[in-house]
Amino acid sequence: MEKRIYPRVVKEISAVIENNQGIHLDVVAVDASSEGVCIQCNTAERNLITPGGSFVSKGKPVELYIWLDLPFEGGAVKKICVKCHVAFSRRVSKDQCKIGMRYMKLDKGVQDTLFSYIQCATASNDL
């Protein structure tokens, strides 16, 4: 049963993650909502994003930045950057993992772009 309150867009989105050591990784976001985003990556990338695969470091959730390339109708792409903390990390196959992240703070412009993307994407799926 779906427990989510906010609509979620299940669509692959190009993304870049910056970990706490400043390393940038190209990944794929597999869903996004107004509260967070989930990426899929291999286990080596997971270990760079979440040290040793643990999403808690020094008693706190791992924090990182994510840049999302949000595709809009007509081919327009709007890039947003959001600071997140890792909510979960789980292995989905031998060498693939999913990492769920919650946005820590959305600036007004970023929030407006994200909400517009979700609204457009969910409206086009309702047709």
E strands, 7-113, are 8-18, 24-33, 36-42, 56-57, 60-61, 63-71, 77-91, 96-105
pLDDT of residue 5: 64
CATH of the domain at 53: 2.40.10.220
Phi/psi class of residue 30: alpha, beta or left (left: φ > 0; alpha: ψ in -120 to 50)?
alpha
Range of the domain at 82: 8-121
pLDDT of residue 73: 87
Is residue 48 within a helix (H) or strand (E), and if so which, with residue range? helix 43-49
In this predicted structure, the answer to whether residue 127 has a pLDDT above a threshold of 50 is: no
pLDDT in tens, 62-105: 999 999 999 998 899 999 999 999 999 899 999 999 999 999 98
Q: How many domains does the chain have?
A: 1
Quick check: is 2 in a domain?
Answer: no
Quick check: is 31 in a domain?
Answer: yes
Q: What is the mean pLDDT of the chain?
A: 89
pLDDT in tens, 23-51: 999 999 999 999 999 999 999 999 988 87
Quick check: is 126 in a domain?
Answer: no
Quick check: is 104 in a domain?
Answer: yes
Q: Which of 46, 27, 26 is nearest to 92 (CA)?
A: 46
pTM above 0.75, yes or no: yes
